[in-house]
Amino acid sequence: MLARTAAEASLPERLAFIRKVYSLFFVATLFAIGGVLLGFSSMPLMVFIAQNPLIAILLMLGGVFGAQALRHKPTINLFALFGFTTLTGVIISPLLYMISLRNPASILEAGILTVGIFGGLTVYAFISNKDFSFMRGMLVTGLIVVILTGLLNIFIIGSSALYFAGAVATLLLFSGFVLYDTSNIIRRYPTNEYVSGALALYLDAFNIFLALLRILNSSRN
């Protein structure tokens, strides 16, 4: 039998679902931090990731699809979620290592700003009780534009101004995704899709954090 959506579920069931989503999101973030520390502990691993960015990207994409595919498998879905978030931490460890040598304060600043932005938008989505599903088309279009522009800048243009603009656009885009995903968790996610909800929120916070890092360090590139 298909699970009811959060909007259709009873209040206790809905609250239990939402608590589970945000608890998993919090734990997943801790695993990501653990992944960063794991990367820091192995210089050969960080060098390999830095020298093979395409492999890193493919691993991350595979991790997302894997976590989604296993979301209904009890216990395995948690291993998939936490395994993926640990992987993201390992993959960004070379970037954080380089930043820690040049501008270490920016890592803490980006973390604090991420918590503030993510938390503020989440509270707004809950308190306003607005349905942000109308943003789907704009967000998908924005995501495609940001990805294509970023690839174009990396491989062809190489503009620092475009790099900064892309970081700002990414920050705005995933801020929008926080509203959209939070709204869907409140209304449209089936109550057994807690792994999907946590994964969506993690990806939003992860990309906001990376965008802030790029903005705070843009003058050093």
pTM of the model: 0.93
Does some domain include residue 202? yes
Average pLDDT, the chain: 91
What gap in Å lies between CA 205 and CA 188, rounded to an integer?
Answer: 20
Q: Given pLDDT bands bounded at 50, 70 and 90, which one contains residue 214?
A: very high
Task: Compute how many other C-beta atoms are within 10 angstroms of the C-beta atom of residue 35.
Answer: 22
Residue 4: inside a domain: no
Q: Which of 103-112, 192-201, 212-221 has the lowest mean pLDDT?
A: 212-221
Is residue 175 assigned to a domain?
yes
Position 2 confidence tier, pLDDT thresholds 50, 70, 90: low
Structure tokens that stand for 28 in this block:
């997943």
Q: 125 near 186, Cβ under 8 Å?
A: yes
**5 is a domain residue:** no
170 domain-assigned:
yes
Question: What's residue 114's pLDDT?
Answer: 97
Q: What confidence tier does 100 reach under pLDDT thresholds 50, 70, 90? A: very high
> Considering its fold, how many domains does the chain have in total?
1
Q: What is the residue range of 74's domain?
A: 11-220
Structural domain includes residue 3: no
What percentage of the chain's residues is helix, strand, coil (to nearest 5)?
Answer: 85, 0, 15
Q: What string of DSSP letters covers 134-160? A: GGHHHHHHHHHHHHHHHHHIIIII--H
Which of the four pLDDT bands, split at 50, 70 and 90, describes residue 104?
Answer: very high
pLDDT band at residue 85 using 50, 70 and 90 as cut-offs: very high
162 pLDDT band, cuts 50/70/90, is confident
The reply to whether 59 falls in a domain is yes
- pLDDT above 60 (res 21): yes
What's the pLDDT band for 5 if we cut at 50, 70, 90? confident
Q: Is residue 186 part of a domain?
A: yes
